[in-house]
């Protein structure tokens, strides 16, 4: 249960639902004093709270949007660079799948690549001698199961890219490729030509899966940051306007003590809305950081 919750919180969960849970937790902790039986006797702390929310949200929104613009500016390329990137992507897509017209949809492409990898792994059971080592049984038994499980998870996420990226994080690509290389060194090419050819194909499939994971993750990161920036700009209008309105409201009271219902309602609304940008930032950065941790290294190295 804990593993499923952690996976949902860090990877598979919809970011806005995660942000809602974080917001509720923060709001409960912060607003507990407002539900006590004590009256508001001093408005100065409320002025500090409103001022902190204004300054903090302006800084947070400006910083995130600026970082996003820096990342997106890398996509501004010349026509020649774009043509080279398109040609390289198309060459990779054609080389990864042995068919004339590979699918362009990420989920369909990975589905067929995983199926191809699973078929190559299954064929090892027929080609390997009866005396199998731990490496042999790992490639024969565990790798096909991993491919089948990932195939079932593809396309089940809240959006297209996350439903592709999250399942791909589970395969230990470098380990499997190293195992293929170990097996290749154990057999001579003349006597086991078909076995070595299958191992080469399986190793190539695993490398192509790792390349696809890295490529789609890059697009996923850009999409996540763009979605975060857009959401922060939307909610930032209220997150900054309400504290300003609270300050204006507090300035209209002639005495140091304000009517309790007015202060309670205004402060409650201001604090909850003012915490939304922080909750969104935490929810999105949790997934970005978790994905980045999984792809910190590429084949053939492991971290």
Nearest to residue 145, comparing CAs of 171, 107, 123, 174? 171
The tokens of 32 are what? 């507990």
Q: What average pLDDT does this structure show over 121-141?
A: 69
Please give the pLDDT value at position 281. 93
Q: Is 100 exposed, middle or buried (0-12, 13-18, 19+ CB in 10 A)?
A: exposed
Digit-coded pLDDT (tens) for 160-200: 777 888 888 867 777 888 888 888 777 766 667 788 888 88
The answer to whether 15 and 287 have CB atoms below 8 angstroms apart is yes
Please give the pLDDT value at position 1. 37
Is the whole model's pTM more than 0.75, yes or no? yes
Nearest to residue 216, comparing CAs of 60, 68, 93, 50? 93
- Long-range CB pairs of 62-69 (<8 Å, 24+ gap) are 64/225, 64/228, 64/229, 64/232, 64/281, 65/229, 65/232, 65/233, 67/225, 68/225, 68/226, 68/228, 68/229
Helix locations, 252-301, DSSP H? 260-294
Please give the pLDDT value at position 186. 76
Inform me whether the pLDDT recorded for 275 exceeds 90.
Answer: yes
Mapping DSSP to helix (H, G, I), strand (E, B) and coil, where does residue 252 land?
Answer: coil
Please give the pLDDT value at position 38. 52
Q: Which residues contact 151 (CB under 8 A, 6 or more apart)?
A: 111, 114, 115, 118
Helix locations, the chain, DSSP H? 2-7, 15-31, 44-73, 79-96, 106-127, 134-137, 143-153, 162-168, 173-186, 193-251, 260-294
Distance CA(184)–CA(294), nearest Å, equals 28
The pLDDT mean for the chain works out to 81
CA torsion 186-187-193-198 (nearest 10°) is -20
Q: What is the domain partition of the chain in residue ranges?
A: 2-74+224-294, 79-220
CATH code given to domain 79-220 = 1.20.120
The answer to whether 55 and 237 have CB atoms below 8 angstroms apart is no
Digit-coded pLDDT (tens) for 47-75: 888 899 999 999 988 888 888 777 777 77
Place of tokens 């199961």: 145
Please give the pLDDT value at position 137. 62
Please give the pLDDT value at position 128. 74
């Amino acid at each position: 249960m804990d593993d499923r919750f952690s996976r949902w919180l860090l990877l598979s969960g919809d970011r806005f639902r995660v942000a809602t849970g974080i917001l509720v937790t923060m709001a409960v902790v912060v607003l507990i004093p407002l539900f006590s039986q004590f009256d508001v006797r001093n408005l100065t702390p409320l002025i500090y709270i409103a001022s902190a929310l204004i300054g903090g949200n302006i800084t947070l929104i400006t910083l995130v949007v600026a970082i996003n613009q820096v990342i997106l500016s890398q996509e501004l390329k010349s026509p020649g660079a774009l043509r080279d990137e398109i040609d390289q992507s198309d060459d990779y897509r054609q080389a990864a799948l042995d068919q004339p017209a590979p699918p362009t949809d990420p989920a369909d492409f990975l589905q067929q690549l995983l199926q191809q990898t699973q078929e190559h792994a299954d064929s090892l059971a027929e080609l390997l001698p009866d005396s199998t080592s731990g490496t042999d049984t790992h490639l024969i038994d565990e790798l096909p199961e991993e491919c089948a499980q990932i195939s079932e998870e593809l396309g089940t996420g809240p959006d297209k890219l996350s439903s592709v990226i999250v399942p791909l994080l589970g395969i230990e690509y470098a380990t499997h490729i190293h195992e293929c290389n170990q097996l290749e060194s154990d057999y001579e090419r003349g006597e086991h030509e078909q076995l070595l050819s299958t191992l080469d194909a399986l190793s190539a499939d695993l490398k192509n899966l790792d390349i696809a994971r890295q490529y789609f993750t890059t697009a996923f990161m850009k999409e996540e940051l763009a979605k975060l920036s857009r959401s922060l700009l939307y909610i930032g209008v209220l997150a900054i306007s309400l504290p300003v309105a609270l300050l204006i409201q507090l300035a209209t009271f002639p005495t140091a003590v304000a009517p309790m219902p007015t202060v309670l309602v205004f402060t409650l609304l201001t604090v909850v809305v003012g915490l939304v940008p922080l909750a969104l930032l935490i929810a999105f950065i949790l997934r970005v950081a978790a994905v980045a941790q999984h792809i910190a290294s590429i084949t053939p190295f492991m971290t």
